[in-house]
Amino acid sequence: MKKNFKTILFMSALAIALVGCKDKAKEAETSDAKAAAEAEATATKYVADAEASTIEWKGFKPTGTHNGTIKLDSGTFKISNGKVESGSFLINMGSIAVLDIPADDEKNGKLKGHLTSADFFDVEKFPNAAFEVTGISEAEGKTMLSGNLTLKGVKNNITFPVSVSENENGVALTSESFTIDRSKWNVQYGSKSFFDDLGDKFINDDIELKINLVAKKA
């Protein structure tokens, strides 16, 4: 009976793990930093609307998930024939917001405080993250945007799928959901990539992101 109970517990844990993995987005292709892209002189310049633009985030741990948003500080990019040719953006790491816990719940402030602390993104020392476009390509019918993501002073190149839509008022760039491995940017807290004695107290290295960028002609 005891053996059967342990088997049931193991199968239940495995099922939860498999469901959790299925729900996660694909990891962005990650490599060493590359040279920033340069646009043709005829490309149209756009300035990001920081208030209207957001980066959605989701974090995972054995007991569940947390999610929220991050705001831009500023950004510009150039487009020609519907394709992004160059661009750079500053991300306001102090703007991290938690959405899965009510704003008036003290746990909300506690989690935000932890995320902005030296344990995670060390916002006091690194108030901004940055992204600079290095190229664009087509793969499996999707537009793939590549760029250098600098986080906590560490720079890596990532590639992820996006869609770009232009209209008379401006342009919208939206990514599919994708994940990055935070350990590649030296975000160590609760990571099994750095610590082997965490038991079930670990936090997954994967951070899921979705970019919603709105911009107007310069």
pLDDT bucket at 198, cuts 50 / 70 / 90: confident
Q: Which amino acid is at 20?
A: G
Q: How far apart are CA 163 and CA 55, in angstroms?
A: 15
Contact 203, 181 (CB under 8 A): no
Span 57-96, pLDDT tens digits? 999 999 899 999 999 999 999 999 889 999 999 999 999 9
Predicted confidence (pLDDT) at residue 162 exceeds the cutoff of 50: yes
- Of the chain, the percentage scoring pLDDT greater than 90 comes to 80
74-52-161-186 Cα dihedral, nearest 10 degrees: 50
- Of the chain, the percentage scoring pLDDT greater than 70 comes to 89
**What stretches of the chain show up as alpha helix (H) in DSSP?**
2-23, 106-116
pLDDT bucket at 17, cuts 50 / 70 / 90: very low
132 Cβ contact list (under 8 Å, min separation 6): 36, 87, 88, 89, 147, 148
Q: Which domains does the chain have, with CATH numbers?
A: 26-217 (2.40.128.110)
Q: What is the pLDDT of residue 23?
A: 61
pLDDT bucket at 13, cuts 50 / 70 / 90: very low
Predicted confidence (pLDDT) at residue 133 exceeds the cutoff of 80: yes
pLDDT bucket at 146, cuts 50 / 70 / 90: very high
Span 47-67, pLDDT tens digits? 999 999 999 999 999 989 999
Pairing of strands 170-175, 83-98: unpaired
Pairing of strands 206-217, 170-175: antiparallel
The strand pairing partners of 29, in sequence order, are: 159
Q: What is the pLDDT of residue 209?
A: 98
Q: How far apart are CA 156 and CA 143, in angstroms?
A: 20
- Residue showing tokens 């990055």: 180
Phi, psi (rounded to 5 degrees) for 72: -85, 155
> Is residue 168 left, alpha or beta, with left meaning phi > 0 and alpha meaning psi from -120 to 50?
alpha
Q: What 3-state DSSP class applies to 86?
A: strand
pLDDT bucket at 8, cuts 50 / 70 / 90: very low
Whether the pTM exceeds 0.95: the reply is: no
The mean pLDDT of 128-149, rounded to a whole number, is: 96
